[in-house]
Amino acid sequence: MKRSQSSFCALLCFLALSCTHGSAPSNMPQAQPRKEASDDPFELIIDDITPFIQKGYRTAERTPDDIDIIVIHSNNFLGVDSFSTEGCLQQFEAANVSPHYMITREGIVIQMVKEKDIAWHAGESILPGTDRRALNASSIGIEIVNTQSEEPTPHQYKALLELCQQLTQKWGIRYIVRHSDIAPDRKTDPWLLDWDQFEHDLKERVSEDLLFPRR
Ligand SMILES: [Zn+2]
């Protein structure tokens, strides 16, 4: 079994276990793998597990008028396997936070919160060059699974580019920022992501008008 398949099976097992612990409604739809990870670098694979995320966000009916920022993060499990999807999910739940999306080492995009809902990923924050604060309400959060010594994989990078392109075009995103740009006193993530290259690559795909305000 390929590692990606193995990881996904493990994720489903974790979710199945979570469901037996009572916090989820009994009529909850089951997550189904849409397809296996592929080597196609620009084929975005999104596994929607929204029904299983119970914490770390609040429901909202945001429209494109409400959302104009993407915030990029890094995250890893503080256990034996730094890249454990299950571990990351447990940590998010324990901390009562969540991104909208998490990108596994294999480049699989896991949706945790609906885009129209407000996820708690940015915390106390300010958009550089503005007085806009508390950016959860106006942003979509994406977590890359990596550590401060292990850079994002090529699959993650390509999935991040593709996801940002789709979100930018869907929501009319104007700003792309790192967590460290909006919370510089508290945060250093995303780690080991070549931000100059990423800015270049995303602008090339979407528009030179995209803004990358930095701290
Ligand atoms: Zn972060």
**Over residues 75-88, mean pLDDT:** 94
- pLDDT of 56 reads 93
Between 44 and 36, the higher pLDDT residue: 44
Long-range contacts (CB closer than 8 Å, 24 or more residues apart) made by 134-139: 135/69, 135/71, 135/182, 137/60, 137/62, 137/66, 138/66, 138/67, 138/68, 138/69, 139/67, 139/69, 139/70, 139/71
pLDDT at 52: 52
CA 144 to centroid of ligand 1, rounded, Å: 9
Measured distance CA(19)–CA(17) in Å, rounded? 5
Find the 24 Cα to ligand 1 centroid distance in Å: 27
**Percentage of the chain exceeding pLDDT 70:** 75
pLDDT tens sequence across 132-173: 999 999 999 999 999 999 999 999 999 999 999 999 999 999
CA 1 to centroid of ligand 1, rounded, Å: 32
Alpha carbons within 13 A on the beta-carbon side of 87: 14
Maximum average pLDDT range among 10-14, 25-29, 121-125: 121-125
How many angstroms is it from 73 CA to the middle of ligand 1? 4
Higher per-residue pLDDT: 18 or 148: 148
Question: What is the pTM for the complete model shown?
Answer: 0.80
Residues forming the active site: 143
Asked whether 140 and 71 are in contact (CB, 8 A), the reply is yes
Span from the CA of 49 to the centroid of ligand 1 (angstroms)? 21
Burial 110-135 (b: 16+ CB within 10 A, else e): bbbbbbebbbbbbeebbbeeeebeeb
Class of the 3-205 domain?
alpha beta
Q: Say if residue 13's pLDDT is above 60.
A: no
Mean pLDDT, rounded, for 52-69:
90
Q: What would you report as the CA-atom Rg of the chain, rounded to the nearest whole angstrom?
A: 16
